[in-house]
Homo-oligomer: A and B are copies of this chain.
Amino acid sequence: MSTHLMHAETEPSFETTLLVRDACLCLHAQRAARALARRFDLALKPVGISSGQFSLLMSLNRPKPPSLGSVASLLAMDRTTLTANLKPLERRELVETSHDGADRRVRLLSLTAAGRAVLTKAVPIWKEHHAAIEAELSDSGRLRCDLVLLSR
């Protein structure tokens, strides 16, 4: 009788492991994200922010202050993660929060002058390093497109 018909749960073979390791997009995305984050962390160290903080500060550089929830959604990040990420930036007074007059539940996020100054120094660094990374890829536009798809 075959194991399939018996519904026996045999342990995954080494071959299965290799297949999963090679194929798993979740793993590959994590690996790539970690490697990229470290790369930008290092590049942005002179400015004193991490890659994630750069993305967050950038997302706050708008004409009108966005709400916490909309930024979390933009970054595909849990609301509570964003709350935590804001703490060190508020402590360093790069970001400040205010309340929406119309809807008192909403917490609006905005950059301080110091926050904008940090971005001013960070953007040229980002441009330089991002260009280097795109040069390593054959079609960065297509990759971006796929990543956006995966983010829903």
Q: Using CB atoms and an 8 Å cutoff, list the residues of chain A in contact with chain B.
A: 9-12, 14, 16-17, 20-21, 23-37, 39-40, 51-52, 55, 58-59, 61-63, 74-77, 116-117, 119-121, 123, 126, 130, 133-134, 136-138, 140, 142-144, 146-152
Contacts and interface: CB of A to CB of B under 8 A. Distances in A.
Contact of A143 (B9, B61, B146): B146
Contacts of A74: 21
Contacts of A123: 12, 16, 20
Given A61-B14, A121-B9, A143-B146, A133 B25 contact: yes
B59 A11 contact: no
Nearest to A9: B120
A101 to B, nearest CB: 23
